[in-house]
Amino acid sequence: MTEWKRKRFWTDVTVDKAEGIAGWRVLLDGRRLRTPAKAELILPTRAMAEATATEWRAQTDEIDPDQMPVTRAANSALDKVTPQRDDVVAMLAEYGESDLLCYRADAPQELATRQAEAWDPLLDWARAALGADLTVTTGIMPQPQPDAARAALYAAIDTQTAHEITALHDLVALSGSLVIGLAAQQGVLPAEELWRRSRIDETWQEEHWGVDEDAAAFAVRKRGDFLNAFDFYRLCVETGA
């Protein structure tokens, strides 16, 4: 990714409506921004274009991709998701087969109760809103899900744009739950609360075995990435000024 290590070479960052196609572009001193794969970076909404422009304005001497989550996600949508959309949709749908929310502890009872209180309402939502009636089990042995539930989850993904799928990919991969990812997109609960519910098991471990500093630092990074993915999805559906 040598493109990311160039020093800042521009002065002015502007946003402009793309000509002849739907979308917005970001211009650096009047030159069109491109992805690492050299595709023109076309953003689906003005809100996303403005957020991308803000990231580029904030760069100082050297481009720092860690400070550019919107740009990185937009690049991924065009360079990675778009060329293999069907494979990405199928991969995300497979999370429904092993969704975090469906695998419960049989002991201790306090942990099982916490899981039920946090996760049952989300499974109820998936059943009512998506038509995905998922089977809950205890332990870690794989539990096949009903064909109808799998099809419903696939349909919920397959209707989305490449940029929305990019956001969903991170929401699901970071939380371990396709249901949580879809719930975040549809505003079932605030993103912060959904992240908390995805961490029931880890929180239990910390309470009873203490905090591992490396694991805690990693969790902070994952939380930030989860919230960035949620923000990217919001930019997909907000039109901006």
Are 96 and 134 a contacting pair, CB within 8 Å?
Answer: yes
Are 51 and 45 a contacting pair, CB within 8 Å?
Answer: no
DSSP reduced 3-state for 17: strand
Are 56 and 12 a contacting pair, CB within 8 Å?
Answer: no
Q: Is the pLDDT of residue 241 over 50?
A: no
Q: 5: pLDDT confidence band, cut at 50, 70 and 90?
A: low
In the chain, the domains with their CATH numbers are 2-67 (3.30.2180.10), 84-237 (1.10.3580.10)
Q: Which helix (H) or strand (E) holds 13?
A: strand 13-17
Please state, for a pLDDT cut of 70, what percent of the chain lies above it: 97
- pLDDT score, position 207: 87
- pLDDT score, position 140: 79
Alpha helices in the chain (DSSP H): 46-58, 69-76, 85-94, 109-125, 147-158, 162-175, 178-185, 191-198, 200-209, 213-237
Q: 214: pLDDT confidence band, cut at 50, 70 and 90?
A: confident
Alpha carbons 23 and 40: distance in angstroms, whole number: 11
Residue 48 backbone dihedrals phi, psi, to 5 degrees: -70, -40
Total-model pTM: 0.92
As a whole number, mean pLDDT of residues 12-40 equals 91
Q: Is the pLDDT of residue 3 over 60?
A: no
Is beta strand 103-104 parallel, antiparallel or unpaired with respect to 137-138? Answer: parallel
CA angle 233, 95, 120 (to 5 degrees): 85
Q: 63: pLDDT confidence band, cut at 50, 70 and 90?
A: confident
Alpha carbons 57 and 42: distance in angstroms, whole number: 18
- pLDDT score, position 1: 34
Are 177 and 100 a contacting pair, CB within 8 Å?
Answer: yes
* Of the listed ranges 41-50, 51-60, 145-154, the one predicted with least confidence: 51-60
- Calculate helix-pair angle for 191-198, 109-125, nearest 10 degrees: 140
As a whole number, mean pLDDT of residues 208-235 equals 92
Which is higher by pLDDT, 77 or 206? 77
- pLDDT score, position 2: 41
* Of the listed ranges 200-204, 205-209, 229-233, the one predicted with least confidence: 205-209
Alpha carbons 111 and 96: distance in angstroms, whole number: 22
Chain position carrying tokens 């800042």: 8
Q: Which amino acid is at 134?
A: L
Are 226 and 175 a contacting pair, CB within 8 Å?
Answer: yes
Identify the bridge partners of residue 17 per DSSP, sorted by sequence position.
Answer: 24
- pLDDT score, position 212: 80
Q: 221: pLDDT confidence band, cut at 50, 70 and 90?
A: very high
Residue among 231, 88, 128, 125 nearest 171 (CA): 231
Q: Is the pLDDT of residue 4 over 80?
A: no
Tell me the per-residue pLDDT of 123-143, one tens digit each, with 9 for 90 and over: 999 999 999 999 999 987 888
* Of the listed ranges 38-42, 49-53, 216-220, the one predicted with least confidence: 216-220
Tell me the per-residue pLDDT of 144-185, one tens digit each, with 9 for 90 and over: 999 999 999 999 999 999 999 999 999 999 999 999 999 999
DSSP 35-64: -TTS-B-EESSHHHHHHHHHHHHH--SB--
